[in-house]
Amino acid sequence: MKKNFPIIILLISLSLIGMIYIQWNWIITMVEVKQDELKTKLFDVTSTVGGELIHFKETANPGLKNLQIRPSFGFRPYDKLQLELMKPSTLAQNFTKDDINIKLRKAFNSHDLRDTKFEFCISSESSNQLSSSIYEIKSTNFLPAIEDTEHNLSEIMPLLAENSDLESPEPVETLSVVISDYKSVVMNQVRLKIIGVVFFTLVIIAAFYVTVSTILRQKKLSEIKNDFINNMTHEFKTPLATISLAVDALRNEKVIHDQQKSEYFSGIIKEENRRMNKQVEAILQAALLEKQELQFNLQPVHVHSIIRDVLENFQLQLEEKQGKIDLQLNARNDLLEADEVHFTNLISNLVDNAIKYSKDQILIKITTHNSSRNWIMRIEDNGIGMNKETQRRIFEKFYRAHTGNIHNVKGFGLGLSYVKTVVDAHHGKIKVESTVGKGTVFLLEIPLKK
Ligand code: ADP
């Protein structure tokens, strides 16, 4: 698992990056294809409408060609007038702006470009380069639209009848059609697909994140459980070895007949037995915590008396280590809704830790005071302290700082997670402040009984 994990992460990351890269390219290609498609459609639309107009010209204006056969005969004045009359009529004379608009709209609709905005113009351009175009029919925004080649797509088609003469001096009419803001037309077509791609990519990234964090959590949990098993083995091995030695000693002839020595060794067995019992209790309690089966019987309790009782139990241990406790129970109101047993364990765990993680001269200062709604206890020691990472994690089950794992200080890493559960059940808060090498302060805040 340890070796495979980085490989799994690497493979998943690589495939994610590859997939995102391919998706990105796919989107760009899709946009380009859609732009080309739009250009083709614009060409088709222009050709369709242009074709209709050419057809109209062919059927409605057969005249000019017939006239041009005769220029060598010369014109008399009335011939000129006749020529004027026989001149083919322009499209503007036959169609209004609306007619062209309707034709174009119909063509756009039939090419699946229903809401596309367009501009158009029919102009006539003389073959003489110098003369400028004459706009016969023009939509309102045609001129700015055709000039903006960056944002707009345009198509220009000369309306030349099949039988028209390119040499003719008559100006050539052209149909120009412009699609305004063609990029947003393309974007409208591909938007849903892009949203889909982005959404599913995000889903895959989220799934990847959840998978990795679950694997990491499991890994951490298995490390913690290993530590726990190591600690537990150690915790049981020591008393078992002591008991075994004491039993051997009790079997010794000299000891059997020596009342005092027998009592001494059986006392050791009893004491080790008590210690092992305590540890089994702690493990059972942890199992209850796991199943959230702890029962709390909250009743009005004066907690200062609980603190005094707990400290009395630690008196012997403190005397042995020449430790001191500075107790200042300043809170005027110490009546809380509390579970006596669990609250006793809570205080006991905090004091126990203050002694366990101490240095040579133990000094524990316990003070209490009230805020308007709470009872507050501060328990301060001058022990080994802990770093920020430890402070963040001490309330996690099985967590022990690394100094704790060296086995110079015994424990399962369960005490403070139990403390946290008890504090939560009392609707309180617990905070820790600590400096490595200097000591630790636990701040406990529990609401007063109303
Ligand atoms: P245990 O004491 O059994 O290891 P706890 O849950 O009581 O488990 O404590 C978790 C860890 O928090 C300890 O291993 C220790 O590293 C750290 N810790 C707790 N109390 C103190 C303290 N007063 N001073 C320094 N470190 C402490």
- What are the DSSP calls for 73-84, one per residue? G---HHHHHHHH
Residue 73 has pLDDT above 50, yes or no: no
3-state secondary structure 43-80: HHHHHHHHHHHHHHHHHHCCHHHHHHCCHHHCCCHHHH
Residue 407: other Cβ atoms inside 10 A: 13
Q: Mean pLDDT throughout 204-229?
A: 86
Q: Mean pLDDT throughout 258-276?
A: 88
- Residue 5, CA distances (Å) to 12, 18, 114, 218, 350 in order: 11, 20, 54, 12, 38
Q: Is 279 in the pocket of ligand 1 (CB under 6 A)?
A: no
To the nearest 10°, report the CA torsion of 424, 429, 433, 439.
-70
Work out the percent of the chain whose per-residue pLDDT is above 70: 86
- Residue 328 pairs in a beta bridge with 367
User: 395 with 416: CB under 8 angstroms?
Assistant: yes
- CA of 168 from ligand 1 middle (Å) equals 103
In a 13 Å sphere around the CA of 394, the CA atoms on its Cβ side amount to: 24
Distance, CA of 63 to CA of 390 (rounded, Å): 100
Q: Mean pLDDT throughout 284-305?
A: 83
Distance, CA of 250 to CA of 327 (rounded, Å): 43
Q: Is 439 in the pocket of ligand 1 (CB under 6 A)?
A: no
Q: Mean pLDDT throughout 263-283?
A: 85
Q: Is 416 in the pocket of ligand 1 (CB under 6 A)?
A: yes
- CA of 400 from ligand 1 middle (Å) equals 6
User: Ligand 1 pocket: which of 275, 380, 416 to mutate (most atoms <8 Å of CB)?
Assistant: 416
Residue 399 has pLDDT above 50, yes or no: yes
Residue of 115 and 304 predicted with greater confidence: 304
Instruction: Say what the pLDDT of residue 412 is.
Output: 77
The radius of gyration of the chain's CA atoms, rounded to the nearest angstrom, is 47
Q: Is 164 in the pocket of ligand 1 (CB under 6 A)?
A: no
The order of strands in the sheet holding 374-381 is 324-329, 363-370, 374-381, 439-447, 429-435
pLDDT digits (tens, 9 = 90+) for 343-392: 998 999 999 999 989 988 899 999 999 999 999 999 999 999 999 999 99
Distance, CA of 365 to CA of 381 (rounded, Å): 6
- CA of 415 from ligand 1 middle (Å) equals 8
Whole-prediction pTM: 0.54
Which of 195, 177, 215 shows the shortest CA–CA distance to 47?
Answer: 177
Residue of 13 and 64 predicted with greater confidence: 13
Backbone torsion region of residue 181, taken as left when φ is above 0, otherwise alpha when ψ lies between -120 and 50, otherwise beta: left
Q: Is 413 in the pocket of ligand 1 (CB under 6 A)?
A: yes
Of 28-42, 55-69, 145-159, the range with the lowest mean pLDDT is: 55-69
Q: Is 357 in the pocket of ligand 1 (CB under 6 A)?
A: yes
Work out the percent of the chain whose per-residue pLDDT is above 90: 41
Q: Mean pLDDT throughout 107-135?
A: 78
Q: Where does the pLDDT of residue 77 fall: very low under 50, low under 70, confident under 90, or very high at 90 and above? A: low
Tokens linked to 185: 């037309």
CATH number for domain 190-291, candidates 1.10.260.40, 3.40.50.300, 1.10.1040.50, 1.10.287.130: 1.10.287.130
Instruction: Say what the pLDDT of residue 206 is.
Output: 94
Instruction: Say what the pLDDT of residue 74 is.
Output: 47
Domain with CATH 3.30.565.10 in the chain: 299-447
Instruction: Say what the pLDDT of residue 68 is.
Output: 43
Instruction: Say what the pLDDT of residue 102 is.
Output: 92
Of 140-144, 281-285, 412-416, the range with the lowest mean pLDDT is: 281-285
Domain 299-447 in this protein, CATH class: alpha beta
Give the nearest ligand 1 atom to 354 CA. 23
Q: Mean pLDDT throughout 232-242?
A: 82
- CA of 353 from ligand 1 middle (Å) equals 6
Distance, CA of 411 to CA of 399 (rounded, Å): 10
Of 110-124, 150-164, 366-380, the range with the lowest mean pLDDT is: 150-164
User: 196 with 27: CB under 8 angstroms?
Assistant: no
Q: Mean pLDDT throughout 313-336?
A: 90
Residue 81 has pLDDT above 70, yes or no: no
User: 197 with 172: CB under 8 angstroms?
Assistant: no
Highest averaged pLDDT of the listed ranges 112-126, 155-169, 198-212, 313-327: 198-212
Instruction: Say what the pLDDT of residue 166 is.
Output: 55
User: Ligand 1 pocket: which of 353, 359, 386 to mutate (most atoms <8 Å of CB)?
Assistant: 353
User: 151 with 180: CB under 8 angstroms?
Assistant: yes
- CA of 394 from ligand 1 middle (Å) equals 7
Of 69-73, 102-106, 133-137, 218-222, the range with the lowest mean pLDDT is: 69-73
Q: Is 383 in the pocket of ligand 1 (CB under 6 A)?
A: yes
N-term to C-term CA, the chain: 54
Average pLDDT over the chain, rounded to an integer: 84
Q: Where does the pLDDT of residue 168 fall: very low under 50, low under 70, confident under 90, or very high at 90 and above? A: low
- CA of 189 from ligand 1 middle (Å) equals 62
Instruction: Say what the pLDDT of residue 65 is.
Output: 44
Distance, CA of 328 to CA of 378 (rounded, Å): 10
Instruction: Say what the pLDDT of residue 407 is.
Output: 43
Instruction: Say what the pLDDT of residue 307 is.
Output: 96
Residue of 110 and 320 predicted with greater confidence: 110
- CA of 413 from ligand 1 middle (Å) equals 7
Highest averaged pLDDT of the listed ranges 209-213, 293-297, 328-332: 328-332
Distance, CA of 18 to CA of 6 (rounded, Å): 18
Instruction: Say what the pLDDT of residue 162 is.
Output: 66
